[in-house]
Amino acid sequence: MSSRFVSIALVAAFFVGSSGAAYAAEEDEFDPLKVDVVDAIECRLDPGTYTGFAFALDSEEAGYKARGWKKQESGNSFLAQYQLPEPVTVAGQATRTIVFSSSAIMALLDGDPQSFAAAEKINNAVPGGAKFLGERLVHSESETAEGMKITSTVKRVLSNVTSHPGKTLLGCSYTLEIED
């Protein structure tokens, strides 16, 4: 069997509200405005719910403006940055700034990632130097649907980036992999 990565958009509808793959799904019709941003950052969502939430960010009815968020320039082409109307607490630290990457949502926190690493049980995958990039598996689940194996994975992520000196990115990555 060949393995291939498929855009999360293609399988999001399958996972949103799917009781087999969702360990935090609701039975009601999905409403992205009901998703708590802290739940997303703290890895308390399933990948389908996260995907529905993330894809809705640019919509008029359920997007970042409806939440009262302000889009900010991140200085990093790989990060979409938002200022929240009220601070949230992540890892014991209050912040009003969050960022999204291709599959992750992270809080922007003051300090060096090493100061969070032990409490988060995350090791640096980049040896020696100022760069920190690490993750810890939170949840992984596979199921078969229509002859395809679908694996959903949730990981706690911790890093720093040169575009945000003196800051740490801490959050959660949500991915789906399909094998045929």
For the entire predicted model, the pTM comes to 0.83
Provide the pLDDT for residue 129.
75
Whole-angstrom distance, CA of residue 159 vs CA of residue 145: 34
Provide the pLDDT for residue 27.
53
Whole-angstrom distance, CA of residue 6 vs CA of residue 21: 17
Chain segment 150-163, per-residue pLDDT in tens:
999 999 999 999 99
Instruction: Show the beta-strand stretches assigned E in 6-159.
Output: 70-72, 80-90, 93-100, 104-110, 133-145, 148-159
Chain segment 47-68, per-residue pLDDT in tens:
989 999 999 999 988 899 999 9
Whole-angstrom distance, CA of residue 105 vs CA of residue 98: 7
* Percent helix / strand / coil, the chain, rounded to 5: 20, 40, 40
Q: Are 134 and 123 in contact (CB under 8 A)?
A: yes
Provide the pLDDT for residue 92.
95
Tell me the mean pLDDT per 10 residues along the chain, length 180. Answer: 35 39 53 96 95 92 94 96 97 97 96 95 90 97 91 97 96 92
CB atoms within 10 A of CB 100: 19
DSSP H stretches of helix in the chain: 8-15, 37-41, 47-55, 114-120
Q: Is 177 helix (H, G, I), strand (E, B) or coil?
A: strand
Provide the pLDDT for residue 5.
35
φ/ψ (deg, to 5) at 179: -115, 135
φ/ψ (deg, to 5) at 19: -65, -30
18-55 b/e (C-beta count within 10 Å ≥ 16 → b): beebbeebeeeebebeebebeebbbbbbbbbbbbbbbb
